[in-house]
Amino acid sequence: MTPAQLLASGTATRAIVTHVDAIGASVETQIVTFTYRYELPNGKPETGSVVMPQTRAWQLGLEKGATFTVLYDPKEPTAHKPYFQITDAEIVGAMGAKIAPP
C-alpha cells in the first residue's frame, strides 16, 4: 500500500520502541535506528524499524519505551508505516503528550 492508501484505509495501532541503536561521532550527526513492536487485533506481534537523524528523534520524543501510531494494511499487516513518516506529524496523545483541560 502507498502512504496515501494507508491513510485512507489502513488500520491504526500503537507501537512501542523496543530497541535504539545510534551511530555517529557526535549527537548532532548521529543516525538512530528505532526497532518497534505493534500488535494485531488477534494478538500476533509484528515488528518494524525506522531510521532517522537524532535531531528528528528528539523532535518526536522517540526513545526506548516511547509509543507512536502505526498504520498497517489489514490484508497484509507486515505492510505498515509510522504515521509520522506519512504526515510529518503525530496523533495527539501519542508519545506521552500531556493534554490539560482548559
69 lies in which domain range? 3-86
Contact 27, 54 (CB under 8 A): yes
pLDDT band at 100 (very low <50, low <70, confident <90, very high): very low
**Beta-ladder partners of 23:** 31
Q: Which residue has the higher pLDDT, 60 or 70?
A: 70
102: in domain: no
The number of distinct structural domains making up the chain is 1
pTM of the model: 0.79
Most confident of 20-29, 37-46, 55-64, 83-92: 37-46
Task: Check residue 32 and give its pLDDT.
Answer: 93
pLDDT for the residue 98:
42
Q: Is residue 97 part of a domain?
A: no
In a domain, 81, yes or no: yes
- For residue 102, what pLDDT is reported? 42
CATH number of the domain within which 67 lies: 2.40.50
Residue 94 falls within a domain, yes or no?
no
Kindly state whether residue 82 falls inside one of the protein's structural domains: yes
User: Is residue 13 assigned to a domain?
Assistant: yes
- Can you give the pLDDT at residue 31? 92
